[in-house]
Structure 1
Amino acid sequence: MDDVDRAILAMLERDGRISNADLATRVGLSPSPCLRRVRRLEEIGAIRGYRALVDPSAVGRSLRVFAGVRLVRHARENVVAFERAVQQLPEVVQTHHVTGNFDYLLQVEVADLPAYEDFHANRLADLPGVAAVTSYVTMKTL
């Protein structure tokens, strides 16, 4: 991967819908070589996909909470059961297996605090192997 590849990736991270012609101009290539590089970056897995960034408040998910989850046990079957179950929760936008005080850090998006309270009490705390959940409510995202 060279500087041109890194420039292509940076541009696509900012605007995944940029036309190939505009991308080529911005990174100093003609369109054909630029498209070949993008396709190669896709093939090697450097580009995993393209997605729309949805404004959570526009779709009724204006409250963002980061939830630190600690499991009861770290046996393989407990970890697998938790990971399968958490992936089924549409409120959980991202799940990270982390080190430190928690085993997992979840990004949760819901309508409001009562919706999170319901989610926490009736869905998150009931996931397999959950010992404790510590919640951090986002006040502002920079």
Structure 2
Amino acid sequence: MTDIDATDQAILRLLSRDATLSAASIGRSLGLTQPATWRRIKRLTDAGVLAGRRVVLDNAALGFGVTVFLGIRLATKGRTSLEDFERAVTAIPEVQVVQHVLGQFDYRLRITARDISDFERILRRRIMTLPGVGQVEANVMLSEERRPGPLGAAP
């Protein structure tokens, strides 16, 4: 782990809010030069603190109005069934997140669908046919509130 000072934290807060900010604009906000800011960003990237930059898509604007969280308990457990399940589930484009979890279920999936009928099709034709699927529990997302990361909101 790299040492992260207050300036690094401020850079991370700004980038977490808008990953398209340039080093020059971040530097101007923090009273740093563009090269000094760029060196800090490069150091954070090289250390693995910055693991990438993402574009956040508006699923509803793209016609995907339903998000469902699925808890899946595998019927059979073992190394082979976990690998087979993970390989198969990550190939389904509507599955946005696959989390291997500890608790009541073995996996938690985040699925986007156009509507409830589209979700039913995905569930019946894609999820329920995956290797090892046993119990499934669906929770439809009603709303989502974005929360700041562990560094909190930018000052």
TM-score band, normalised by shorter chain: over 0.9
Q: 2-side partners of 1:26 and 1:71: how far apart? A: 50
Q: TM-score, normalised on structure 2?
A: 0.87
* Structure 1 residues 113-124: aligned runs within 5 Å: 113-124=116-127
CA contact (8 A) 1:93 1:106 kept: yes
Q: 2:99 aligns with which of 96, 119, 131?
A: 96
1:86 is aligned to 89
> Could you tell me the percent identity over the aligned residues?
37
Between Structure 1 and Structure 2, which shows a larger proportion of helix residues?
A: 1
2:35 is aligned to 32
CA contact (8 A) 1:125 1:132 kept: no
RMSD value, Cα = 1.1
Residue identity in the other structure for 1:121: R
- 2:68 matches 1:65: yes
Residue identity in the other structure for 1:53: V
* Cα drift, residue 113 of structure 1: 0.2
SS at match of 2:60: helix
Residue identity in the other structure for 1:5: D
Q: 2-side partners of 1:46 and 1:128: how far apart? A: 35
Q: 1-side partners of 2:6 and 2:130: how far apart? A: 45
Residue identity in the other structure for 1:87: T
Residue identity in the other structure for 1:101: Q
Q: 1-side partners of 2:75 and 2:29: how far apart? A: 51
Moved over 4 A (4+): none
Q: TM-score, normalised on structure 1?
A: 0.94
SS at match of 1:109: strand
Q: 1-side partners of 2:99 and 2:9: how far apart? A: 25
- 2:133 matches 1:134: no
Unaligned runs of 5+ in 2: 146-155
* Cα drift, residue 21 of structure 1: 1.4
2:114 is aligned to 111
Unaligned runs of 5+ in 1: none
The number of equivalent residue pairs is 142
Residue identity in the other structure for 2:84: A
Q: Deviations over 1:27-76 (max 9, x none)?
A: 33221111001011111211111221110011121100000011122211
